[in-house]
Structure 1
C-alpha cells in the first residue's frame, strides 16, 4: 500500500496550510482519530459476527435455549400402580427426583413447578402413596395429598396376649403370620429392654397404629416396643419398680395380671394391692388368668382339672409371681402396679361379670360369701340362657 492510500485511510492532513504530517500537533490528532476509529469498529464487528451467526449456528442456539426453557411433562392421569414413599424432611425437589426415577413423572421439574403452582411445595407429608406411571406433574401433586396416604389403622386392645396380637396384625396387614412370629423372637432387633428377658409378651404395647404397606413385620413390632419404651419412661417404670422393691419385669408381670383380672379401670389399683398383700405373706396368688394363659384358653373361673396343671404359670400350685407377663397391659394397669390402692384386701371375686362388679374382702369367711354370690349369679345366668 502506497503513502497516498495510507493517508486516505488514516485521514492524513493535507498540505494546504494545515499541520504537516510530521508535526507534533498532527501526530496528536492522528492518534486521537485512530482511537476513535477503533472504538467504532469493535462494536460494528461484533454486530456483523452476530448477524452472520444468526444465519447459521445462532438458530441452533435459539432452539437450544427454547428447549431448555420448556419443562418435560406427561399429560393425563397415567396408568398402572406405583407405591411411592415420602420420607420425613424430604423437599419437593427430592420428592420430584424420586417420582422421576420411579417413572411417575417425566421430569422432577414438572412436579416441582406443579407443586409451586398449587401452593403445596411445603405441605407434603411423610407416608406411602399410590400413584401411577407417566402422570402429569399436576396429577401427581393431587395424589400426594396427606388424606390419601396408604395406611392400615390397627387397634390392639389392652390385655391382648401376644399370640392374639400377632394374629390380629397378620389379618389386618395381609402379611403371613409366620413373619410376625419369627420377628417376635428377635429381641435385640426389636429394641426390647434387657429386663424383658428376651420375651415380647407384655412389651408389645396396646394402642392404635398406622401401618404402611412398606413396613415389615419387624418394623411393626419394633414400633410397638418403641411405644412401650416411651410409656415406661413416662411412668418411671425402672425407678418406680425399685421403690416398690421389685424389678421392672415383675412390675410388668403384675400389671399383666391386673389387666387380665380387672373388669374396669377403677378396680385395677385394688387388684394390684391384693397381689402385693398375698406376696407379702407368702400366700399363693391363685389367679385364674395365669392358668388360662398356661393352657392357652379363656374363661371366667378355672376348673378343678385346670388347677392340676403343672405349668409355672399355675399360681394355684406355685408361690410367687409367674415367670413373666401373661398379656400386654396398658398404661392404666402399669400405673396400678406401680401405685396400688391402699387396703388390706387379700381376696376379690367378680361377682357379676356381665356388669363388671368386683368385690374385695380381707377375710376368708367373707371370701366364701362373695364366691357363693358369684356362683348364684352364674346359675341364674345359665338358667336365663337355657
Structure 2
C-alpha cells in the first residue's frame, strides 16, 4: 500500500480515482480488521489522490454496509470495468446481490485486469448486472471443504544436549513426533477423500498417468507454482513424488529422517490450505476450486469467463438470470505465470474477438 501510494503521489503510476480505490480495496480491505465494516471502504478514501467523489459516495454512516458496498460496486465497475473485483464477492450475503464485492468476508483479488474491454449494464435500480459471458463447461462433481485440525510450522529448529551430542532435547523430539502425527492425519483425510471420490485411493483407481497428475494437481490448486519444494538441504521433491510418498506412508515415519519430515510437512501444509475451499470436477474432466469458502458449487453450475476479467467464474442459473457462486483459480489462457502481466488490452481484445461466436450476454443477480 505504501509503494502504491508513493507511486501515485510521485506520478510514477497514473490511475484515476476509481482505479486507485479498486487496487487498494481488492488488495487491502481483507487484510485489516474494522469495528465498523463500513470502514472497509471509508478508511481507504484518505489514500486516494485529492479528487472529489460523487455526492452519493461521500462517507455517510446513516447508510447500511450493504447500501455502501452496492453503491461503490456500481461506481467502481462503471468507471473502470475491472470485472476481476467480482472475485471479492462472498456470493451469499443477505441483502447484497451476488456480484457485489463483499469487503467484509469476500476473497481478496491480487490481480486486476487493466483494460476497458468489457460490456456492463446495470438493471433494476442497480440490483442486477448485465455482462458478456463465455460458458466453458458445467460442474459434475463436488468435494465439500475439509478442515484438517493440525498445524505445520514453516521450519524445524532442533536443539541438542550439547554441540557434539547426538542426543536431541526432549522438546525437539516431541516436535518431530508431532509433525509425524500431523502428516499421518493429512494422509488419513486424503485417503478418505479419495475413497469417497474414486471408491478407493487414487493410486489404485486405474487412472492414466495424465488423470493421476490432474488429481494430484487438483489437491493443491492455488499452489500450482509449487512445481517443487526445497528442503533446508536443497533436495528437490516434485508434487507427484511427495503425493506418492504420502499415500504410501509406513508406520515408521520418523525413521525417514528430518529432511523427509520437513518436505512432507510443507507439502501437507499446502494440502491443508487448499482443501479448505470447495473442489469440483467439470464436464470436460478438469478440476477446479471455488475461492469463496462459504459457498459450495453444485452439479449443473456453469464454469465461464466474463469479458472484462482475467479470471474464471462459477455461476448458477437462477430464475431469469444467474447467481455468481465465486471465482475459480483458473485464468484466461495467457499471461498466467507469476510476476507476469495478466494480459494486455490487445490480448484481451483478440481473445474475445476470436471467440465472439461463443459469447452471450447474461444477467447476474
Q: TM-score, normalization: structure 1?
A: 0.22
Structure 1 or 2, whichever has the larger Rg, is 1
- Which has the larger share of helix? 1
